[in-house]
Structure 1
Amino acid sequence: MTLNCNGFLMDLQVPKIMGILNLTPDSFYDGGKAKDLDSLLKRAEAMLNAGAHFLDLGAYSSRPGADFVSEDEEARRLLGVVEALMQHFPEALLSIDTFRAKIAQEALDRGAALINDITAGHGDEAMLSTVGKYLAPYVMMHMRGTPQTMQQHTDYDDLMGSIFKYFSERIQAAYLNQIQDVILDPGYGFAKTLEQNYKLLKHASELLVFEKPVLTGVSRKSMIYKLLDTDPEKALNGTTALHMIALQQGSKILRVHDVAEAAECIRIYEMLGP
Structure 2
Amino acid sequence: MDFRRLAEPAGLLYGTAAQDAVRRGLALPLAGGPAAFSCVDLIEDRTHSGFLPVGDVPAGWQDVLARLVAKPPAAGMPEGPQVMGILNITPDSFSDGGRHRDAERAVQAGLMQIAGGAGVLDIGGESTRPGAAVVTPEEEWQRIGPVVRGLKQQKPEAVLSIDTRNSSVMAHVLAAGADVINDVSALTHDPDALPLLAGERCGVVLMHMRGTPATMARHTVYEDVACDVVRELGARLTAAIEAGLAPERLSVDPGLGFAKNTDQNLTLLSRLPLLANLGCRVVLGLSRKRMIGDVTGVQDPAGRDAGTQAASLEALPLGQSVLRVHAVEGMVQALRVWQRVHTV
Report TM bin, short chain. Answer: over 0.9
1:77 — aligned with what? Answer: 143
1:227 — aligned with what? Answer: 295
What whole-Å deviation, never above 9, does each CA across 1:179-204 have from its counterpart, x for those lacking one? 22110100000000000000000111
Q: Is the 8 Å Cα contact of residues 162 and 181 (structure 2) preserved in structure 1?
A: yes
1:249 CA displacement: 5.5
Is the counterpart of residue 188 in structure 1 residue 259 in structure 2? Answer: no
TM-score by length of 2: 0.75
1:35 CA displacement: 3.4
Counterpart residue type for residue 96 of structure 2: D
Counterpart residue type for residue 78 of structure 1: I
Is the counterpart of residue 206 in structure 1 residue 274 in structure 2? Answer: yes
- 1:58–1:102 Cα change, 3 Å: same
Q: Percent identity?
A: 37
Equivalent residue in structure 2 for 1:265, among 334, 338, 341 = 334
TM-score by length of 1: 0.94
Q: State the alpha-carbon separation in 2 of the partners of residues 203 and 103 from structure 1.
A: 34
RMSD, aligned α-carbons: 1.5
Is the counterpart of residue 245 in structure 1 residue 314 in structure 2? Answer: yes
Q: State the alpha-carbon separation in 1 of the partners of residues 254 and 125 from structure 2.
A: 21
1:136 CA displacement: 1.1
Q: State the alpha-carbon separation in 2 of the partners of residues 208 and 157 from structure 1.
A: 20
Q: State the alpha-carbon separation in 2 of the partners of residues 190 and 251 from structure 1.
A: 23
How many residues are aligned here? 269
Counterpart residue type for residue 170 of structure 2: A
Equivalent residue in structure 2 for 1:98, among 153, 160, 164 = 164
Paired residue secondary structure (1:263) = helix
1:161 CA displacement: 2.7
Q: Which ranges in structure 1 are unaligned for 5 or more consecutive residues?
A: none
Counterpart residue type for residue 131 of structure 2: G
1:250 CA displacement: 5.3
Runs of 4+ off more than 3 Å = 248-251
Q: State the alpha-carbon separation in 1 of the partners of residues 208 and 137 from structure 2.
A: 22
1:21 CA displacement: 0.4
Q: Is the 8 Å Cα contact of residues 121 and 161 (structure 2) preserved in structure 1?
A: yes
1:251 CA displacement: 6.1
Q: Is the 8 Å Cα contact of residues 24 and 58 (structure 1) preserved in structure 2?
A: yes
Is the counterpart of residue 26 in structure 1 residue 92 in structure 2? Answer: yes
What whole-Å deviation, never above 9, does each CA across 1:100-151 have from its counterpart, x for those lacking one? 1111011001100010000001101121221221121110000011111111
Counterpart residue type for residue 216 of structure 1: L
Q: Is the 8 Å Cα contact of residues 137 and 179 (structure 1) preserved in structure 2?
A: no
- 1:183–1:152 Cα change, 3 Å: same
Counterpart residue type for residue 103 of structure 1: V
- 1:249–1:3 Cα change, 3 Å: closer
Q: Which ranges in structure 2 are unaligned for 5 or more consecutive residues?
A: 1-71
Is the counterpart of residue 11 in structure 1 residue 82 in structure 2? Answer: no
Q: State the alpha-carbon separation in 1 of the partners of residues 95 and 136 from structure 2.
A: 22
Paired residue secondary structure (1:134) = coil
1:110 — aligned with what? Answer: 176
Q: Is the 8 Å Cα contact of residues 217 and 256 (structure 1) preserved in structure 2?
A: yes
What whole-Å deviation, never above 9, does each CA across 1:142-184 have from its counterpart, x for those lacking one? 0011111111111112212321221121111111233221101
Question: In terms of Rg, which structure is larger?
Answer: 2
Q: Is the 8 Å Cα contact of residues 203 and 250 (structure 2) preserved in structure 1?
A: yes
